[in-house]
Structure 1
Amino acid sequence: MAEASSIRPQSAASIEQWHFEADVVVAGYGIAGVSASIEAARAGADVLVLERTSGWGGAAALAGGFIYLGGGTPLQQALGFEDSPANMKSFMMAALGPGADEEKITDYCEGSVEHYNWLVDNGVPFKESFYGQPGWETPFDDGLMYSGGENSAPFNTIATPAPRGHVPQMSGKRTGEKGGGFMLMKPLIETAESLGVRAEYDMRVQRLVVDGDRVVGIIAKQYGKEVAVRARTGVVLATGSFAYNEAMIQSYAPRLIGRPGAAVEEHDGKAIQMAQALGADLAHMDATEVAFFGDPQLMIRGILVNGRGQRYVNEDTYPGRIGQETLLRNENQAYLIIDEASYEEGCAADSSTPFFRFQPKWVAETVEELESDMGLPEGTLQSTVEVYNRHAARGEDPVLGKKKEWVKPIGSPVAALDLRNFTAGFTLGGLRTSINSEVMHVSGEPIPGLFAAGRCTAGVCAGGYASGTSLGDGSFYGRRAGISAAKG
C-alpha cells in the first residue's frame, strides 16, 4: 500500500508551476474515462486525460465487451425480447445484492435505452443476432446474450427473463487478449479525439491538489518526473479497481488473496486511496466478482458438487455466480460429475472457452467407485446423484431448479473433473458516488470538484454480478461524471 505521505492532498498554494491545464482532467482512459471525456467535451469543456500506460483502452479493451443494457433496447426489440425498466430493475436488485443501491439501479434501468442509443450514435456496432448457448461469452459476433443468469433459477421466478448482455460486433476475437471490448473502446476513443480531447500517456497519478475543500488538480509522475495538472472545473477519477493492491485486498476482500482476476495490473486502487485521503466514503469494499475456470458447455451437462459431495448451485446459471458460490461459500472446493456421453457432447459444442475443458481426474463404472476414488465420505456422492437422477428421470430439478432442457440422469461410465481452487476475481467496491458521479465525503456531502466512475467506485453491483455491469455502469456513470465535472 502507498505510504500515507504520498497520497495526502497537496495545497494549490504550494504549486510553483502548472505543467498541464484543462477544464476537466480525467485520470484513466478506459471505458469510464473515455465516456467522461466525450460528455465533458460536448458540454464545452477543454478535456485532458491522464493515462498511466502508453495507450488507451484499460481493462475494457481486453474484456469480452458485454455492456449490461435493457428496458427494451432496439436490439432486444429487433430480436423479439420484451423488457422494461421495471423488469430489469427487479432482476438487478435481486441479482446484484445484498445491499444494492436502489437509487442507482433505478436510475440506470430508466436510462438504459438512451444509453444504448448513445453508444450506437458514437459508432459502437451491434449485430442483430442472439446467441442462446451456455458460455462466458459468445464465440461469434452475435450482439445479444444472457449474461447474468436471468433465465435460470432463482431469477427466472423473480423477473421475466430477458437477455441484456449487449456485445459490440467483432470478428477474430481472442478471449482475454482482444475481445469485443476493443470494439467498444475504439469508436469511443475516435469520438473523443474528434471532439478535441487531449491525452497524456505514461502518467501515474499520485495525489489530489486542493484549494480549501475543493479539488483543483492532480499531481502525477511522467517518466519519473513529478508534474502538476490543473483542473479548472473538475477532476474525474476513472482508474479501475484495487484487485492488484495486495494490502487493500488483505484489508477489504481477503478471499481474493493470491487470485486477482482483473485484466490489467494497473488496477492498484490508487485513486481510491487519493480520495480517501480527502475523507471520501467507501461502499461494498468486500464485494467481488469471481471467475470460475470451467467450461459452461460441460458444467451445464453435469452436476457440480462441493468437498462434501453435495450439489450447491444450479449448473445452468451465470458462471460468475457459480464462481462466487464456489469461492465465497464452499471453501473453493468443486468437482464436476459428468457421464461419458455428456462429456463428449459438451466438448463437441461451440465455446469461447475451450481451454477450460479439462480432462477428468477420476473415471469409474459406478458412482460408488467414483466416490471412493475421490476420497469422499461414503454415501455422500451416491446420495447426491441418486436424488438428482430420481428427479431427472422426470425432467425435473426441484433441489436447485436447473432448467428442464439440461436435466438428464447421470449414466455410466461416470467421471469427475477436479475444479478445486479454479477461481480468480476482481473487486466491485470503491468510492461512494451519487447518481451524478460526485464523490461523497463521509459526512454525506459531495467533495467539491471531485467525480468518479468505473471500478474505482461502488457502482450498481453490491455483491452479486452480471457480465456487462462493469462496462455498463462505467460508461453510464462516466458520462455523468463528465457532465458534472464540466459544470464544476
Structure 2
Amino acid sequence: MQRDARAIDDAFDVVVVGGGNAGFSAAHAAAERGRRVLLLEKGPAAEAGGNSFYTAGAFRVAHDGLGDLADLLDPDPRHPVTVLPSYSAADFAGDMAKVTDDRNDKILTEVLISESAATLRWLHGKGLRFRLMYERQAYPDGDDRQVFWGGLAVGSTGGGKGLIEQHTRAARQAGVEIRYGVRARELVLDGGRVAGVTWQDAEGRDGTVRAGSVVLAAGGFEADAELRREHLGEGWQRAKVRGTPHNTGDMLVAAIAAGAGTHGDWGSCHSVAWDAWHAENESNRELTNQLTRGGYPLGIVVNADGRRFLDEGADFRNLTYAKYGARILAQPGGVAFQLFDATTRPELRTEEYDMPGASVVTADTLDELAAGMGVDPAALRGTVAEFNASIDRSIPLDLSVLDGRAAATTPPKSNWATPLEHPPYYAFPVTCGITFTFGGLRAGTHGQVLGESGEPVPGLFVCGEMLGGLFSGNYPGGTGLTSGAVFGRRAGSLA
C-alpha cells in the first residue's frame, strides 16, 4: 500500500526510516505485532533499497553444514555433490574478533551470531528466498565436488535486487505503508521522548509524522564526501560510492542532535577493490556488485609504481576484501592493478571479471602490459621476477583452504602463491569503492538508542549500518545483511 506523503501529516505506531534490508526487517517485526507501520524511503521508487540493493545478497550465519541449512535453501541439483563445512558460533566469533583486531562489541556480536540462522528462517517464513552461492563461494575439486570455503555460503535468491523485491512484497502483504522519495529531516521530541520525524519530499514539500517509536535504518555517511573527509581522513573524497547515493548521514546527525550517543569506529569503513576505469563506477544499479574485483588472492596487486604493497593471500577473500579498498586509496593516485596470467585468469569470478565493460589491459609480454597500465616496465618486470622466484612450489595449491603456499618476498603472499609466467597477462585497474561506514549510534541489544552516559533515548531505535560497534577496520563478508536482519527484527519487536 502506498500513499502520497505530500498531503499528509499524520500518526503511526512505528515509523521506520530507511528502506533497505534492516529497515524492512524492523517493519516486518513491528507489523507482525499488530503495529501500524510507516516506512520512509529517501530514494524514489526507481532508486529504492538502500545499500542492500547493491549487494550480492550474502548472509553469514552459524550452521552445522548443509543438512542444517537444507530447510532454508532453494533446491539445487548440486547439493548432493556439495561439501559445506560447518561454521560454528565459535568460528563466527573468532572471525569477528580477528578482522576487527578484537575491537568489536562483544555483547552485540554474541546476539548477532546466536540469532543469525533463526533470523533467516524468520525471513524465509515471510517469503524471502535463499540459496547457496556456488558462483562466489565454492571451488570444484578433482572429484567433481563443489567445496565451500571461508565460512560464507548462503545468499538471497536474486542477489540484492531479489532481496529488496522480496522484502517489499512481504511488507506490503503485512500492511506496511511505504512512501518513496521522502527524506526524513529531524526527530520530533516531546518531553524528552522521540515522538516522530519531520520530512521533506523531492518537490520540497514538508510535513511531520508522529509515532510511538522511530526506528532508524538510514545507513551511514559514506555518500557524503565532506563527512568522509572529516571522519575518515583527507583523500577519502576520491573514493567511489559503491552503493546508494542517498546515505549521506542525515539521520546520524539528527539522532546525535536529539541526544543519541555514538559508538564504534568512526574512522574506518567497509571499502573494496573496485573497477577504476569503468565510466559508470558509482551507484550503478544495473551492474551493482559486479564492479567489485575480489579475485586478488589468485594473483598479485601492484601500485602505479609497479610495486606490490599488500599480502594478497593473508586470509580468505571474505576476511580481507573490506579493508583493501583503503589500502589502494593510499597508493599513488589512489589506483592499483590486479595481475593474472593465463593460468589464473580462468579461475576468476565470471560475474566480476567478465561483466560488460570490465576494465582490463591484456598483453603477451610484461613490457606490453606495463605500457598499457602506464607503469615503468623495468619496475613491473622486477616485481614479477622477485615474486615468482620466492614461491615455495613444493606445497600443492588448494584454493579451498589456507594452503600455506607462500611467496617469501616483501610483502609476503601467505597463501595461494602462483607464479605469473604464462601469457597472455591481464591487469585489472582498481580503486577504492566505499560501501558503508563503521561508526554509528550507541544502542542496546534490542536496538534501543542510548545516550553517551548509557541512558535510553525513549522512543528511538536503530539497526543496520547506523548501529555502531560491530566492525572496526575490517569486516567478515556477509555480516552486514545478517546484522541488519537480526537487529532490525529486534528493534521492530519492541518499537
What TM-score range do you get, normalising by the shorter chain?
0.7 to 0.9
Query: Do the aligned residues in 1 keep the contact of 2:18 with 2:41 (CA within 8 Å)?
Result: yes
TM-score w.r.t. the length of structure 2 is 0.76
Which ranges of structure 1 fall in alignment gaps of 5 or more residues? 1-16, 136-143, 152-160, 171-179
- How far has the Cα of 1:378 moved from its partner? 9.5
2:237 to 257, 264, 267: 257
Between the two proteins, the alignment pairs up a number of residues equal to: 431
**Are positions 1:38 and 2:28 aligned together?**
yes
Aligned to 1:14: none
Q: Are the structure 2 counterparts of residues 286 and 216 from structure 1 closer, same or farther at C-alpha, using a change threshold of 3 Å?
A: same
- Counterpart-to-counterpart distance in 2, 1:415 and 1:460: 40
Task: Give aligned-pair identity as a percent.
Answer: 24
Query: Do the aligned residues in 2 keep the contact of 1:134 with 1:297 (CA within 8 Å)?
Result: no
- How far has the Cα of 1:132 moved from its partner? 6.1
Query: Do the aligned residues in 2 keep the contact of 1:104 with 1:435 (CA within 8 Å)?
Result: yes
Q: Are the structure 2 counterparts of residues 296 and 182 from structure 1 closer, same or farther at C-alpha, using a change threshold of 3 Å?
A: closer
- Counterpart-to-counterpart distance in 2, 1:423 and 1:362: 29
Query: Do the aligned residues in 2 keep the contact of 1:71 with 1:88 (CA within 8 Å)?
Result: no
Deviations along 1:165-191, whole A, 9 cap, x unmatched? 421223xxxxxxxxx112222232222
Aligned to 1:216: 195
Aligned to 2:156: 168
Look up the SS of the partner of 1:127 in the other structure. strand
Aligned to 1:286: 267
Look up the SS of the partner of 1:229 in the other structure. strand
Deviations along 1:181-233, whole A, 9 cap, x unmatched? 122222322222222212233221111111122111111113422211111x2
Q: Are the structure 2 counterparts of residues 57 and 297 from structure 1 closer, same or farther at C-alpha, using a change threshold of 3 Å?
A: closer
Deviations along 1:363-388, whole A, 9 cap, x unmatched? 33799999994363996654343213
Query: Do the aligned residues in 2 keep the contact of 1:219 with 1:227 (CA within 8 Å)?
Result: yes
Query: Do the aligned residues in 2 keep the contact of 1:337 with 1:414 (CA within 8 Å)?
Result: no
Alignment root-mean-square deviation, CA: 3.5
- How far has the Cα of 1:419 moved from its partner? 3.2
Aligned to 1:327: 328
1:299 to 296, 300, 304: 296
Look up the SS of the partner of 1:342 in the other structure. coil
Report the AA paired with residue 94 of structure 2: S
Aligned to 2:284: none
Look up the SS of the partner of 2:215 in the other structure. strand
- Counterpart-to-counterpart distance in 1, 2:38 and 2:427: 50
- How far has the Cα of 1:298 moved from its partner? 5.7
Q: Which shifted more, 237-246 or 456-465?
A: 456-465
Look up the SS of the partner of 1:88 in the other structure. helix
Which ranges of structure 2 fall in alignment gaps of 5 or more residues? 1-6, 71-81, 140-145, 276-291, 397-404
- Counterpart-to-counterpart distance in 1, 2:476 and 2:97: 12
2:477 to 456, 460, 467: 467
Aligned to 1:477: 487
Aligned to 1:244: 223
**Are positions 1:374 and 2:377 aligned together?**
yes
Aligned to 1:84: 88
- How far has the Cα of 1:426 moved from its partner? 3.2
**Are positions 1:409 and 2:399 aligned together?**
no
Q: Which shifted more, 30-39 or 452-461?
A: 452-461
Aligned to 2:64: 72
Report the AA paired with residue 113 of structure 2: C
Aligned to 1:138: none
Q: Are the structure 2 counterparts of residues 381 and 271 from structure 1 closer, same or farther at C-alpha, using a change threshold of 3 Å?
A: same
- Counterpart-to-counterpart distance in 2, 1:189 and 1:200: 12
Deviations along 1:99-155, whole A, 9 cap, x unmatched? 1111111111111121121121111122357446679xxxxxxxx996xxxx5xxxx
Query: Do the aligned residues in 2 keep the contact of 1:209 with 1:219 (CA within 8 Å)?
Result: yes
Q: Are the structure 2 counterparts of residues 181 and 422 from structure 1 closer, same or farther at C-alpha, using a change threshold of 3 Å?
A: closer
1:89-488 matches, cutoff 5 A: 89-127=93-131, 130-131=134-135, 151=149, 161-162=150-151, 164-170=152-158, 180-222=159-201, 223-231=203-211, 233-254=212-233, 255-282=235-262, 283-293=264-274, 299-306=296-303, 307=305, 309-310=307-308, 312-315=310-313, 317-318=317-318, 320-321=321-322, 323-324=324-325, 326-327=327-328, 332=334, 334-339=336-341, 341-342=342-343, 345-346=346-347, 350-355=350-355, 356=358, 358-360=360-362, 363-364=365-366, 373-374=376-377, 376=379, 382-388=385-391, 391-392=392-393, 394-395=395-396, 396-397=405-406, 399=408, 400=412, 402-403=414-415, 406-411=416-421, 415=425, 417=427, 419=429, 421=431, 423-458=433-468, 460-485=470-495
Q: Are the structure 2 counterparts of residues 303 and 43 from structure 1 closer, same or farther at C-alpha, using a change threshold of 3 Å?
A: same
Look up the SS of the partner of 2:483 in the other structure. helix
- Counterpart-to-counterpart distance in 1, 2:239 and 2:50: 20
TM-score w.r.t. the length of structure 1 is 0.77
